[in-house]
Structure 1
Amino acid sequence: MPGPALPDPNVDEPDEALMLRYAAGDIAAFDTLYARRELGVWRFLLRSVRIAAVADDLLQDVWFAVARQGGSLRASTDGGTGYQPSARFKTWLFTIAHHRLIDHFRSDRHDLRLDDDAKEDGTLLDTLAADSGLGPLRQLQSRQQAEALIEAVEQLPAEQREAFLLQAEGGLSVEDIARATGVNFETAKSRLRYARQRLRQQLQEFA
């Protein structure tokens, strides 16, 4: 009779330690990082481009970059996307995602729409309400309310929407958002503040 399953030794390790293990050749450490962060990155990309197939492609590009750069891990002081052993992995990861979005929008300037699958995904509602100080929206349950919230996020100016989604989907702090998007702390803080104000105005009927 088989014994109990052994716990995964990587589960409780910080992202940064896992990244260093991967750089040293531990493929399982990369698998743990991917399982831990893949959904948040994908949701951030999806809410930004609004087409699931495009988000899938961008997600693949992001993780290819992580694997490629992690395999030749080195300190970087040039302000690029090279991973620094002392840096937070999550901030670096979403910085890569940010740059891939910039590349995408520069090469594909066309109208995008939120597809039906995204509208039916209630997890965005839960995340935004819990992480972004929207108070009464924590109780919203209906599809109509969820769609209203997603539509309101869509209507945010691009820079405010990105900052908001980096916090809501990525769990980044204001300081991390500033680093990921290449702006100063006060600019990132202002973008978040204006995004929340706009959302509250748009969603007053559900408060």
Structure 2
Amino acid sequence: MPFEAAPEASDEDLLMHYAAGDAHAARVLTARLAPGVYRCAVRMLGDAAEAEDVTQDAMLRLWRQAPNWEHGRAQPSTWLYRVASNLCLDRLRRKTTQPWPEGFDPASQAPSTQDRMEQAERVTALKQALGALPERQRQAVILRHIEGLTNPEVAAVMELSVEAVESLTTRGRRGLKGLLAGARDKLGFGDG
């Protein structure tokens, strides 16, 4: 008989519980990991529907992997981000259009119309600048600075060394700075 994993259990423990037949563990792990994977996919693809597909596909691959999961070898979140990032990169390579189509505008929580318009301008400028970066730099910047993964986590996701990730993110930030240089003050990006 399956046992219910506690919501505070580690990702790896939840995955092991799911492999042992605990559906509750799968719900807890999905609620914990899927939103971040979805946000990352939206940022990489610029398309919410495609991001949902990628998130679902990545989660299904995690569930299929659960019975064979080697405890202590990798974190499920790192593995999941790697799978989702690779799925996104595959989709981007198949596309012949811009990675972020015209009209894409993530929902804003700004309280006023003016704030929403300013935020939309910043989002548009940032997505265009991110879209102009080489794929690997874009992926590293999104994972590190937008999703908040640590350099070692990004390295695991991208299957690179930490030094290579640091180099990619440095070049990506430098590229973004150059691409946004003319509009920094207008857009409120400051000196960062």
TM interval, short-chain normalised: 0.7 to 0.9
Q: Is 1:87 the counterpart of 2:83 in the alignment?
A: no
In the other structure, the counterpart of 1:186 is 163
Aligned residues: CA RMSD: 2.5
Q: Pick from 103, 107, 112: which aligns with 2:98?
A: 112
Q: Pick from 60, 63, 74: which aligns with 1:64?
A: 60
Once the two structures are superposed, the pairs formed by residues 34-183 of structure 1 within 5 Å of their partners are: 34-70=30-66, 72-75=67-70, 84-106=71-93, 108-115=94-101, 118-122=104-108, 142-183=119-160
Question: Where in structure 2 are there 5+ consecutive unaligned residues?
Answer: 110-116
- The answer to whether the Cα contact below 8 Å between 2:16 and 2:69 also exists between their aligned partners in 1 is no
CA offsets, 1:176-205, max 9 Å, x none? 111211211211111111112222331532
Decide which moves more: 87-96 or 143-152.
143-152
| Paired-residue identity, % | 27
Amino acid of the structure 1 residue aligned with 2:138: R
- The answer to whether the Cα contact below 8 Å between 2:5 and 2:22 also exists between their aligned partners in 1 is no
Distance between the aligned counterparts of 1:120 and 1:102, measured in 2? 20
Distance between the aligned counterparts of 1:62 and 1:93, measured in 2? 6
Distance between the aligned counterparts of 1:198 and 1:162, measured in 2? 13
Distance between the aligned counterparts of 1:86 and 1:153, measured in 2? 32
Deviation at 1:116, TM superposition (A): 6.4
- The answer to whether the Cα contact below 8 Å between 2:37 and 2:55 also exists between their aligned partners in 1 is yes
Q: Is 1:21 the counterpart of 2:17 in the alignment?
A: yes
Amino acid of the structure 2 residue aligned with 1:191: L
Structure 2 length-normalised TM: 0.78
Distance between the aligned counterparts of 1:61 and 1:73, measured in 2? 18
Deviation at 1:121, TM superposition (A): 3.0
Distance between the aligned counterparts of 2:15 and 2:68, measured in 1? 9
Q: 1:116–1:26: structure 2 CA closer, same or farther, 3 Å change rule?
A: farther
Distance between the aligned counterparts of 1:20 and 1:186, measured in 2? 32
In the other structure, the counterpart of 1:3 is none
Distance between the aligned counterparts of 1:168 and 1:56, measured in 2? 21
Structure 1 length-normalised TM: 0.73
- The answer to whether the Cα contact below 8 Å between 1:45 and 1:59 also exists between their aligned partners in 2 is yes
- The answer to whether the Cα contact below 8 Å between 1:20 and 1:85 also exists between their aligned partners in 2 is no
Deviation at 1:147, TM superposition (A): 2.2
Q: 1:85–1:23: structure 2 CA closer, same or farther, 3 Å change rule?
A: farther
Amino acid of the structure 1 residue aligned with 2:77: K
Q: 1:47–1:151: structure 2 CA closer, same or farther, 3 Å change rule?
A: same
Question: Where in structure 1 are there 5+ consecutive unaligned residues?
Answer: 1-7, 76-83, 124-139
Q: 1:94–1:120: structure 2 CA closer, same or farther, 3 Å change rule?
A: closer
- The answer to whether the Cα contact below 8 Å between 1:50 and 1:112 also exists between their aligned partners in 2 is no
